[in-house]
Chain A
Amino acid sequence: MSMTIEARFQIKRQDFILDIDLNIPARGISAIFGHSGCGKTTLLRAIAGLEPCSNGYLRVADMLWQDDNLFVPPHKRSLGYVFQEASLFAHLDVQKNLEYGLKRIPQSEYKVSLDQAIELLGIAHLLTRKAAQLSGGERQRVAIARALATSPKLLLMDEPLSALDMTRKQEIMPYLESLHDELSIPVLYVSHAPGEVARLADHLVLMESGKLIASGAIGQMLTRLDLPLAHGDKAAALIEATVAEHDEEFNLTYLDFPGGRFAVSHKDLPIGHPVRLRVVARDVSLTLEHQSQTSILNIFPARIEEMTPEGNAQAMVRLDLNGTPLLSRITRKSASLLDLTPGKQVYAQVKTVALLS
């Protein structure tokens, strides 16, 4: 059984052409990222079977949903779809909304129980309300639970947070993360918000004007210097680490990753808990020798892999920390003074690091 999602679509609309050939892992959260109007939603709808298109191909793990001679209609695809606006059925209360899909799948397919979905999204207190009596964030949580209750083999989410304000976004994020941690349902998550992607995604699909630009593991994608994500003020690397130790004396928490150990201010997390760190390129400086007389705690040996000029005065450097990529933005002058070239051993000093989850 192949654990990938393979999709090929060519969809022509009046002012827009989607032409994509995609092969991504059928596990974890894959973010489909790109500017508005680049075809993300059309791609998602095509995968759901909502966007009629001939000569496409779609296989999700071992399920063939579309090829030259086959088109499985949407209601026969084991998928959940969360739309941009929650789109709850206005004539049904929350409970009935949740049961709508559940009632329509055979019992042998029950994997996620309704109670589990309700608890995961924290909506137990809303069950008797009508959709109109819910806040935007609550509606979206019900919509997610409703999709989950059908025990889908693939969950499609079309910018589920974009219609919500910052507070509501913060309210839903933890639920999405627990989705990721507790259910083994692959998720395709359409977004144009880099913050959401950095926080949630394992895999990143980059799109531009209907075409696939690149696709790969998120840590790699964010640090690929040939992609726009690794440039500009917000360029940052993601590091997967685990909680290793708490330092009572200095109120610090140590986080281990293959390239070394981060010290961050105390986080109330159990030992062994996985965390995702975000390190912004401009917060990383480079030295040729290990500085000992410095206030910076997080210093790691690194090897320069690649460098490109960044604007007139700066350079973006991609480092390898024992397999983990990291970005550093320095001035071209520093690069020249230190004689930095690919392959050279340096030390990366990380000034600040943000915990994403």
Chain B
Amino acid sequence: MKFDMLNDADLTALLITLKLAGITTLLLILLGTPLAWWLARSRWRFKFLIEAVIALPLVLPPTVLGFYLLVALGPNGPIGGMMQWLGGQPLAFTFTGLVIGSMLYSMPFVVQPLQGAFAAIGNRPLEVAATLRASPLDRFFTVAVPLARPGFLTAAVLGFAHTVGEFGVVLMIGGNIPGQTQVLSIAIYDHVEVLEYGQAHWLSGGLLLISFIMLLSVYALNRRFSVTKV
């Protein structure tokens, strides 16, 4: 057993992981906000179908999701094939593919807190804003978003942390290409496989600490932000 500190490959894996989680979270907030808003406000009778689809990654083994993504993103899959037809690369085993997979995998962790936060606001503050001359878009940005701030914080941190922790999906569609698609969780797995427990300890411990600190800040901040309903 060796107790080496982190090597360059580990640091690269860490950077890729943070980059992946950051981009995924950002995109998910951007795309998930309108989706969550619609889910919270729509009275469409088949809305539950969409909700069920979004919640799927919560119960599905990541390898199943990863497998289908691999098929879809690969050169013979519908998405990968289209990419090739458009003159691009198939997305399997690329960083872009990883981002797409991570977004699907972490979607419920972003959309659900947002949907809950928007639903909790209720109709009244928006009606009040309407009678105070605020247009629908104005109401959304000046009333709904600020009132849903705890939801945004929860969504961002959960989305980020969940992406940092993913393994199965990445393994399936990203492969394990150092410097491109090798993320932290896979680097840990590799270390353990070759009995490098020291490095595995450093990486695992670091991840544990980061995750705990992130969750701690969410709960602490949400307590401070929590606004009494009036």
Which residues of A are in contact with B by a Cβ distance under 8 Å?
48-50, 73-76, 79-81, 83, 85-91, 100-101, 104-105, 131-132, 134, 139, 146-147, 150
Residues of the A chain whose Cβ atoms lie less than 8 Å from the Cβ of B229: 90
Residues of the A chain whose Cβ atoms lie less than 8 Å from the Cβ of B227: 90-91, 132
* Bound Cα distance A134, B230 (Å): 9
When C-beta atoms are compared, the residue in chain A nearest to B129 turns out to be: A100
Cross-chain pairs A/B with CB under 8 angstroms, 7 sampled: A48-B131, A75-B133, A85-B230, A87-B230, A90-B228, A90-B229, A91-B149
When C-beta atoms are compared, the residue in chain A nearest to B142 turns out to be: A100
* Bound Cα distance A85, B125 (Å): 11
Write the nearest CB–CB distance from A319 to chain B, whole angstroms: 43
Contact-residue size bin, chain B (C-beta under 8 Å from the other chain): 20 to 34
Asked if B130 and A50 make an inter-chain contact with CB atoms under 8 angstroms apart, the answer reads yes
B147 at the interface (CB under 8 A from A): yes
Given contacts A87-B230, A90-B227, 11 further A-B contacts (CB under 8 A): A50-B130, A83-B127, A83-B128, A87-B124, A89-B147, A101-B132, A104-B133, A104-B138, A131-B228, A147-B131, A150-B132
* Bound Cα distance A89, B125 (Å): 7
B35 at the interface (CB under 8 A from A): no
Asked if B143 and A89 make an inter-chain contact with CB atoms under 8 angstroms apart, the answer reads yes
Asked if B128 and A74 make an inter-chain contact with CB atoms under 8 angstroms apart, the answer reads no
Asked if A80 and B129 make an inter-chain contact with CB atoms under 8 angstroms apart, the answer reads no
Which residues of B are in contact with A by a Cβ distance under 8 Å?
124-125, 127-136, 138-139, 142-143, 146-147, 149, 227-230
* Bound Cα distance A50, B126 (Å): 10
Residues of the A chain whose Cβ atoms lie less than 8 Å from the Cβ of B133: 75-76, 101, 104-105, 150
Write the nearest CB–CB distance from A195 to chain B, whole angstroms: 26
Asked if B127 and A50 make an inter-chain contact with CB atoms under 8 angstroms apart, the answer reads yes
The 9 closest A-B pairs by CB, nearest first: A101-B132, A81-B131, A104-B133, A132-B228, A90-B227, A74-B130, A131-B230, A91-B146, A87-B128
Asked if B147 and A104 make an inter-chain contact with CB atoms under 8 angstroms apart, the answer reads no
Residues of the A chain whose Cβ atoms lie less than 8 Å from the Cβ of B132: 75, 100-101, 104, 146-147, 150
Residues of the A chain whose Cβ atoms lie less than 8 Å from the Cβ of B127: 50, 74, 81, 83
Asked if A81 and B128 make an inter-chain contact with CB atoms under 8 angstroms apart, the answer reads yes
When C-beta atoms are compared, the residue in chain A nearest to B148 turns out to be: A91
Write the nearest CB–CB distance from A324 to chain B, whole angstroms: 38
Residues of the B chain whose Cβ atoms lie less than 8 Å from the Cβ of A79: 131
Known A131-B230, A132-B228, A132-B230; judge A87-B125 contact (CB<8 A). yes
Residues of the A chain whose Cβ atoms lie less than 8 Å from the Cβ of B131: 48, 50, 74-75, 79-81, 101, 147
* Bound Cα distance A118, B139 (Å): 24
Residues of the B chain whose Cβ atoms lie less than 8 Å from the Cβ of A75: 129-136, 138-139
A48, A74, A85 — most chain B CB neighbours (10 Å): A74
* Bound Cα distance A85, B127 (Å): 13
Asked if A90 and B134 make an inter-chain contact with CB atoms under 8 angstroms apart, the answer reads no
When C-beta atoms are compared, the residue in chain A nearest to B143 turns out to be: A89
Write the nearest CB–CB distance from B144 to chain A, whole angstroms: 10
Residues of the A chain whose Cβ atoms lie less than 8 Å from the Cβ of B130: 49-50, 73-75
